[in-house]
Amino acid sequence: MFHMKNLCLIFLVFIPNVVYSAETSGSFLDKEKQNQANSGPSEVTHGHFNASADAKHLNDAVVGLGTDEDKIITVLTGRTNAQRQEIRKAYENLFHKDLIQDLKDDTSGNFEQVIVALMLEPHEFLANEVHRALYSILPKEATLAEILCTKSKNELHPIIHAYNKKHSTPVNPVSLRDDIEENIQESFRSFLKNIINEQTNLRADSGVNNDKQLIEQQLKSIPRDLDQCQPAENKVLFDMLSKESFEHIRNISALFEERNANYSRKMHDYVKDFCPEDMLTEAYLTVMYYASSPAEFYAHRLDGAMIGLGTNDHTLIRIIVGRSEIDIGQIKQVYKQLFNTTLEYSIEQETSGSYKKTLLKLIEK
């Protein structure tokens, strides 16, 4: 069914400091449910995949009177992103229409947002999220840190190029670097620009730098006093956290703790104590927390999106969709350990309707 869009939306936005299976009916849904019964949280059913058949099911769900939202949920959450791209191509070949546009026309609100997120390629979706964060009424700097500070070369490169391609025209070329320059202030801007600067190489995907002299410099760069955080005073720390692999940063953190075992303090504790409460510090901490444990980092981000007044649905969608094929199972385990409740229960309390069903389907075992 076509839903009229609301002409005015009021958003209650919460920015964190660091930041039951849906019941379905019908023979198609019952069969799909059975096919997916043993799928893990980061796995989806690969058997019985037929892009054309799925495209026809989705067309059935959106044409005519009424919209079969359960069918949409079952098809899209039961496929990998790569399979969803095949479905989109099959849909266009069969019906000469764009599947994403048809889904947008027949859905609304947060359900529309999560369905579109599922249909876009990961780098395209994240490029859109970066643009949204940059051009909100107030730039969502924590979102920019979450996306750009937790990516290495193989992930950053396609995000940067998807951003530049989508927002450029023949007469008005656009670059992510220029948009960061225009919208972000001070040292955080410099840090983000260094992260995405392809001329000086993007963050390494893996590996540890074995340069002993550099390692010693990096260990000494951890702040031990005030005024040791800004790039002008501590370029070694700035470059390490914006360019070195997460594996290397983990190694530096372990060496630092080993040398300071008597103090029982971690590397990030010194950054929190001696660096000012600004977005550069938050970016530094984002890199350190993510390098230490991606699952714990995202568990905290999810909790931050759901506690307090209102729900940060953009963050909820971005993390659950983005990690659904990577480590959502680990995130669920860590979430329960940290907050003494399940991620499923928190989503149950904070969301509703088909939007809730979709999120729960993406994280279910």
pLDDT in tens, the chain (365 residues): 444 444 333 333 333 334 423 333 333 334 444 443 333 344 445 468 999 999 999 999 999 888 999 999 999 999 999 999 999 999 999 999 999 999 999 999 999 999 999 999 999 999 999 999 999 987 799 999 999 999 999 999 999 999 999 999 889 999 999 999 999 998 999 999 999 998 888 999 999 999 999 999 999 999 998 888 999 999 999 999 999 999 999 999 999 999 987 777 899 999 999 999 999 999 999 999 999 999 999 999 999 999 988 899 999 999 999 999 999 999 999 999 999 999 999 999 999 999 999 999 999 95
Domain boundaries, the chain: 51-107, 123-199, 204-292, 293-364
Specify the CATH architecture of the domain 51-107.
Answer: Orthogonal Bundle (1.10)
Rounded to whole angstroms, the Cα distance separating 114 from 130 reads 16
- Type of residue numbered 213: Q
Distance from C-alpha of 80 to C-alpha of 44, rounded to nearest angstrom: 6
Q: What token pair was written down for 171?
A: 């007469």
Which pLDDT score, from 0 to 100, does residue 29 have? Answer: 38
**From CA 343, how far away is CA 333, in angstroms rounded?**
9
CA distance linking residue 130 with residue 120, whole number of Å: 14
pLDDT on residue 340: 98
Q: Which helix (H) or strand (E) holds 59?
A: helix 51-62
Q: Does domain 123-199 have CATH number 2.40.50.140?
A: no
Q: How far apart are CA 195 and CA 243, in angstroms?
A: 6
Task: Say whether domain 293-364 belongs to CATH 1.10.220.10.
Answer: yes
292/286 Cα distance (integer angstroms) = 10
Rounded Cα distance, 109 and 6, in Å: 9
What is the sign, positive or negative, of the torsion defined by CA atoms of 302, 304, 308, 309? negative
For domain 204-292, the question of CATH label 1.10.220 is answered with: yes
Amino acid 264: pLDDT: 77
